[in-house]
């Protein structure tokens, strides 16, 4: 089964909370026929399905522990294989969070053709998340928590970006711009893959 995805186009999408990467992923799916896979969504869906794996995951998450890397990779791989026949490529969203995750992904699944680094100034991300917090009621959308999340995000992400910059596959996308202008930059990066 795994050989179905060995030549697949894989794009890692990295961006902080409030960077607007979710919106950009939706636009890529619509224009290019890629499949958007977010490890967080996959985990939540697995738990909601009530499967054996879902029950184990729920227990881990309830303890506040991190789900083992192997499990996350297996889920991403299963999802890719399931969509292999109908997908033009894969957007792997919010992954890898550290260099080791990227290396394991490549061993188990394949190498990314591109890493889209969707980046906005931290003030912008804070503003966007505060605004979202007004309507979402999400407990983690208050200013202090947001700043903490951004700090953690930058600390974790910098080594990943540096690692893939060494391969020349990072395209930094300035998401301060209007949504369509940001997407023009994203499209340029994807069109350059052919």
Q: Binding site membership for AMP: which residues?
A: 39, 44, 65-67, 94-97, 101, 138, 149
Query: Is it true that the peptide bond before 178 is cis, omega within 30 degrees of 0?
Result: no
C-alpha span between 74 and 51 (Å, rounded): 15
Pairing of strands 170-174, 90-93: unpaired
The DSSP symbol for 93 reads: E
Q: Which residue numbers belong to the known binding site for ATP?
A: 18-23, 132, 177
Binding residues: 18-23, 39, 44, 65-67, 94-97, 101, 132, 138, 149, 177
Q: What is the four-CA torsion angle of 133, 38, 9, 157, rounded to 10 degrees?
A: 70
> Rounded distance, CA 186 to CA 5, Å?
23
116 bridge partner residues: 13, 171
Answer for the pair 76, 96: CB distance below 8 angstroms, yes or no: no
């Amino acid at each position: 089964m795994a050989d179905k995805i060995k030549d697949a186009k894989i794009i890692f999408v990295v961006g902080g909370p409030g960077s607007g990467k979710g919106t950009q992923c939706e636009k890529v799916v619509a224009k290019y026929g890629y499949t958007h896979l977010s490890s967080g969504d996959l985990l939540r869906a697995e738990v909601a399905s009530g499967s054996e794996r879902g029950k184990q995951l729920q227990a881990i998450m309830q303890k506040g522990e991190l789900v083992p890397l192997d499990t996350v990779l297996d889920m991403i791989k299963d999802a890719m294989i399931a969509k292999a026949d109908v997908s033009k490529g894969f957007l792997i969203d919010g992954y890898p969070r550290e260099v080791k995750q990227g290396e394991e992904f490549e061993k188990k699944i394949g190498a990314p053709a591109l890493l889209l680094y969707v980046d906005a100034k931290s003030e912008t991300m804070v503003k966007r998340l505060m605004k979202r917090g007004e309507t979402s009621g999400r407990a983690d959308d208050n200013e202090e928590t947001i700043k903490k999340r951004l700090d953690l995000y930058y600390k974790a992400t910098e080594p990943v970006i540096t690692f893939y910059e060494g391969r020349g596959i990072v395209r930094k996308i300035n998401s301060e711009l209007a949504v369509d202008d940001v997407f023009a930059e994203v499209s340029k990066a994807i069109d350059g893959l052919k």
